[in-house]
Amino acid sequence: MASCPLVLVAAPASGQGKTTVASALARLHARQGRRVRAFKCGPDFLDPFWLALASGAPVDSLDLWINGEADCAARLHRAAQEADLVIVEGVMGLFDGQPSAADLACRFGLPVLTVIDASAMAGTFGALAWGLQHYRPGLPWLGVLANRVGSERHAGMLRQALREPEQWQGALMRQPAASLPGRHLGLVAAHELPDALQRLDTLADALAATPLGRRALADWPAWQAPALPAFKPLPPLLQGRRIAVARDEAFCFIYPANLECLRTQGAELQFFSPLAGEALPDADALWLPGGYPELHAARLGTLDGLRQGLKTHVAAGRPVWAECGGMMALFDELVDAEGQAHAGLGLLPGCVRMQKRLAALGPQQLACEDGPPLRGHTFHYSVCETPLPVVARTARPEDGADAPSGEAVYRLGSAQASYFHAWFASAPESAARLFLPPPVPASELSA
């Protein structure tokens, strides 16, 4: 049975500093030469950028519904075999969501470190820590860390508020210059900040002075990784097929596990950057992942070569899968949050408009004709206006795959597009069919 030190970094709510602490902890140990593997609880593209920079390794998501329990177990098992330390960052508050970070912790015995923003409290810190630890009987526990603390005296008050002083893992003082900035979808991606690694080093230095940072890995609670589930080998449905994948600041929401899933089924992946003016590669299929097309709309509107390449690609009957930001870029027009209209890539008729409030959020699944449903999620601030017919809809988990009530799926020729972000490993063969030509009807074969 594989084992190694592990911690799940949680909080009572969003915005408390989970990513700050998880990334600082990963950076602290990685720069000492230790092998660190980090995970993000729940679907997320932005926090993993920081965790990957801090740990020096790809970051996968863990979600008991989207991944499935077996997939989570397999990823934790492999991480424990290769790492000196495994860090899992929670999602929202510790008990928020279905499933929650607490559900994951209880299922796999993951010790919980709770981060509390203590900037405006003293004695209540102890009440929060006690409640989080004991609200759910049997929750594995490592301790509590105070974030955004005003002074050493303030830290002392917080520590004295704990009923069990041994739960104290230290305090991080307010450090505005080292904070991780955000925008409408969450944190600003690490690769967008030239001083990102410097910020992480500053946070790691601060964490090194806490009991958590000084704690030798040999003194961490023993954690036994789950057994490796049995999986049947995937058929090579994509063998010999080249898939072009857009990847740059406008198309950056890519799960490493999705790339792994395509490669495992035999695909050759060729990355290109639309923003850099790179032409659409000669490929059998195209994947336009999500990202921030709204932040780069002016540049995208000038890409006449890509615009023509997309039309040629679809005219040849080659599949396109465009999800969320990838779909947004394909419409005739994109209106940004300031109301400025920009020309889109013009493959799909219609307009996408950014708005100030969230348009959709939550887990979704897409029923597939020739296989199990693809699971994933949706998270976007824009709305879509198009004459295209809706050929399918995703469903929420509580509705079941046969009661679609979620995101529309549009199709134009060989191109399919939706706000839905798919986790390919939830149904690998269904994911592969997004990049395969549709089967020829029997009536056409006999004609």
Cβ contact 63:41 at 8 Å: yes
Domain membership flag for residue 374:
yes
pLDDT per residue as tens digits for the range 334-372: 999 899 999 999 999 999 999 988 888 899 999 988 788
DSSP 335-386: E-TTS-EEE---SEEEEEEE-SS--EEEEEEEEETTEEEEEEEEEESEEEE-
Same domain, 207 and 76: yes
Same domain, 15 and 149: yes
Query: What confidence category does residue 1 fall into, taking pLDDT thresholds of 50, 70 and 90?
Result: low
Query: What confidence category does residue 443 fall into, taking pLDDT thresholds of 50, 70 and 90?
Result: very low
The beta-carbon contacts of 34-37 under 8 Å, at least 24 apart in sequence, are 34/84, 34/85, 34/217, 35/82, 35/83, 35/84, 35/85, 36/83, 36/84, 36/85, 36/86, 36/87, 37/79, 37/82, 37/83, 37/85, 37/86, 37/87
Same domain, 39 and 139: yes
Same domain, 262 and 211: no
Domain membership flag for residue 191:
yes
Question: Which backbone phi and psi does 92 adopt, to 5 degrees?
Answer: 50, -140
pLDDT per residue as tens digits for the range 390-422: 999 999 888 755 566 789 999 999 999 999 999
**Per-residue pLDDT at 439 exceeds 80:** no
Burial track 332-353 (b if 16+ CB lie within 10 A, e otherwise)? ebbbbeeeeebbbbbbbeebbb
Burial of 140 (0-12, 13-18, 19+ CB in 10 A): middle
The pLDDT, as a whole number, for residue 189 is 65
Q: What is the three-class DSSP state of 62?
A: strand
Domain membership flag for residue 114:
yes
The pLDDT, as a whole number, for residue 334 is 95
The pLDDT, as a whole number, for residue 399 is 78
Residue type, 121: M
Same domain, 147 and 267: no
Find the CATH number of the domain harbouring 31.
3.40.50.300
Same domain, 164 and 80: yes
Same domain, 311 and 196: no
Query: What confidence category does residue 11 fall into, taking pLDDT thresholds of 50, 70 and 90?
Result: very high
The pLDDT, as a whole number, for residue 404 is 62
Number of domains in the chain: 2
**Per-residue pLDDT at 177 exceeds 80:** no
Which domain, by its residues, includes 310?
A: 242-436
Same domain, 375 and 413: yes
Query: What confidence category does residue 183 fall into, taking pLDDT thresholds of 50, 70 and 90?
Result: low
Q: How far apart are CA 362 and CA 377, in angstroms?
A: 5
Question: Which backbone phi and psi does 244 adopt, to 5 degrees?
Answer: -80, 135
Domain membership flag for residue 264:
yes
Domain boundary among 188, 219, 250: 219
DSSP structure class, residue 253: B
Domain membership flag for residue 229:
no
Q: What is the mean pLDDT of residues 211-238?
A: 90
Q: Whole-number mean pLDDT of the chain? A: 92
Same domain, 252 and 188: no
Instruction: Give the global pTM.
Output: 0.92
pLDDT per residue as tens digits for the range 373-395: 999 999 988 999 999 999 999 99
Domain membership flag for residue 41:
yes
Domain membership flag for residue 208:
yes
Q: Which H helix or E strand runs over 126?
A: helix 124-134
Domain membership flag for residue 236:
no
pLDDT per residue as tens digits for the range 295-340: 999 999 999 999 999 999 999 999 999 999 999 999 999 999 899 9
What is the token pair recorded at 380?
């976007």
Query: What confidence category does residue 254 fall into, taking pLDDT thresholds of 50, 70 and 90?
Result: very high
Q: Known catalytic residue: 324? A: yes
Same domain, 52 and 95: yes
Same domain, 392 and 258: yes
Cβ contact 154:119 at 8 Å: no
The pLDDT, as a whole number, for residue 229 is 87
Does the bond joining 373 to the residue before it have cis omega, within 30 degrees of 0? Answer: no
What is the largest distance, in Å, between two alpha-carbon atoms of the chain?
Answer: 84
Find the CATH number of the domain harbouring 405.
3.40.50.880
Residue located via tokens 């979808």: 185
Same domain, 59 and 179: yes
Query: What confidence category does residue 427 fall into, taking pLDDT thresholds of 50, 70 and 90?
Result: very high
Give residues with Cβ within 8 angstroms of 427, minimum separation 6.
Answer: 368, 371, 372, 373, 374, 375
pLDDT per residue as tens digits for the range 48-70: 999 999 999 999 999 999 999 99
Q: Which of 41, 261, 324, 384 is catalytic?
A: 324
Q: What is the three-class DSSP state of 147?
A: strand
